[in-house]
Chains A and B, each alone.
Chain A
């Protein structure tokens, strides 16, 4: 991790839906090349925070500087060249081919009436290769498993070539196997140097990655730092309102230990 100028700088951020306050006076930095996990229980405002960071929602108070500019003031296509989103839930649409779904990621570069060119197609195939789904490129994406479909959508954010990819609970609707597939892919993309912010309600997912964690606590306060520092028995029990203990187990694939947490 290169601790230089932060890519994203959030200061004094507050957000409300009507009269319901979601969070207040949050500050957060995100650096190039890191994976930041925003961790917290369901309904604490992680997804809202993520949308504010990506400029999809506008803060009530405070600022988000993205590479020193305010994302909300950018036209949507320019913003989409800098920020890619992978949403929690995708309601399947028409049975488009995998290739066609991924090529939608080129939209920010193509203008209102544009269509993808041959050059775009090669980017698409490359992205599909990176998520290991090149073999499925002509299949209807609706026929894929939930995990594969999520990888297709991840590939779509890759062809956007954004500075940062925001993942909103990317695994919450997946079964165990597909969760693992998806998380591994995220890990490998971070190793390839892509900046990512991921929200999750599961502390174990945050603990899988060596990056930093922002623990979102009741009342909308953030506890930010390295996973090993932020995720403690006390902070977890406090955040989730139940007794949780962390413990370490040896890694299977590599030397060292892996920290996990469990309420039992």
Chain B
């Protein structure tokens, strides 16, 4: 496939799936009804559908679908940026402990019975704090070598995982423990216009930040010393990448729990489709990630009357795919 055609497809696929997501689900709504409802939002016209249908399409499915796309896109672009920065294809967005920290923050919020908006803020704040700790721990002689970052990330993640286990240990088993458990498995169950409003700015800002420095990521992927010799302020650039990625991931975790595998696998798919150059790879991962998580979430909410946790589905689909990639490439980077 030629490059323009690939990118055209990457523009059409998520939008097409978004439209489909509005009429797929447990509640029967026809594609025509969806079109009508959307049309009526722009050009006022006669309403000939029940109010519940409009609620389903505009208040429930649309925010949820957009949120799925945002989270999928955000986690994927973050994963691609980290894989470039750490020059390691097995790195994922949670490498610096953001997921564990935000997860603990959410568990605390659930323990304290905070409402969803407060939960989002608390989880988000904990995520940022966790990466702040990692960064401070990794700083030696005014630099942050990749190895120190990764090891510090392991330490911080282990620390917050332990706290999280502690939170589960004392949680009320009738209400809070199941809530924490389900939440950790990842779900867009709680998606609403409000959670969308909370998650949109950080994910958007982080993604724009990463897109702006995406060519510099190529240089960072050559190693710190080479990058410095090419005039790149590696500490600034790493700081920008870490900040953007952390903001995105913390926002994603704060709205939908822990969704694994997206940030790990999608960048690989992107590299297979458009190559390793981050100028192409980063926009591509946005599109692929959005499409992928939207598709997964459509399954999660449609296949049975109970929700299937996203974390389970992304792993069930992601792990075999990753195994296939490993076999195909035999561990080399294509």
Contacts and interface: CB of A to CB of B under 8 A. Distances in A.
A86 to B, nearest CB: 9
Nearest to A157: B229
A115 B280 CA distance: 12
B215 A114 contact: yes
A96 B277 contact: yes
A142 B329 CA distance: 15
B36 interface: no
Contacts of A116: 215
A50 to B, nearest CB: 11
Nearest to B240: A112
A76 interface: yes
B231 A108 contact: yes
Nearest to A104: B219
Contacts of B237: 112
A115 B84 contact: no
B27 interface: no
A94 B230 contact: no
Among B212, B231, B334, max chain A CB count under 10 A is at B231
A114 B90 CA distance: 28
A100 B212 contact: no
Interface size, B (range):
20 to 34
B238 interface: no
A80 B229 contact: yes
Contact of B225 (A56, A80, A113): A56
Nearest to A115: B215
Given A108-B231, A112-B213, A95 B334 contact: yes
Contact of B218 (A56, A75, A81, A96): A96
B9 interface: no
B226 A90 contact: yes
Nearest to B279: A115
B226 A85 contact: yes
B232 interface: yes
B333 interface: yes
Interface string B201-228: 0000000000011011011011101101
Given A91-B223, A93-B221, A93-B223, A107 B277 contact: no
A107 B213 contact: no
Given A94-B84, A115-B279, A76 B231 contact: yes
A87 B230 contact: no
Interface string B123-140: 000000000000000000
A81 B226 contact: no
B150 to A, nearest CB: 16
A40 interface: no
Contacts of B216: 107, 112
A84 B226 CA distance: 10
A136 to B, nearest CB: 16
Interface string A61-91: 0000000000000011111110111010011
Given A76-B228, A76-B232, A93 B222 contact: yes
B194 interface: no
Contacts of B215: 114-116
B230 A107 contact: yes
A105 interface: yes
A80 to B, nearest CB: 3
B229 A95 contact: no
A77 B219 CA distance: 13
A240 to B, nearest CB: 28
Contact of B276 (A75, A76, A90, A96): A96
Contacts of B275: 95, 97
A80 B230 contact: yes
Contacts of B226: 85, 87, 90
Given A76-B231, A100-B277, A107-B231, A94 B221 contact: yes
Nearest to B276: A94
B233 interface: yes
Nearest to A107: B230
Interface of B: 84, 87, 212-213, 215-216, 218-219, 221-223, 225-226, 228-233, 236-237, 271, 275-277, 279, 333-334
- The list of the 3 closest CB pairs from A to B, nearest first, reads A80-B231, A108-B231, A77-B231
7 contacts: A75-B233, A93-B87, A96-B276, A97-B277, A100-B218, A104-B219, A112-B233
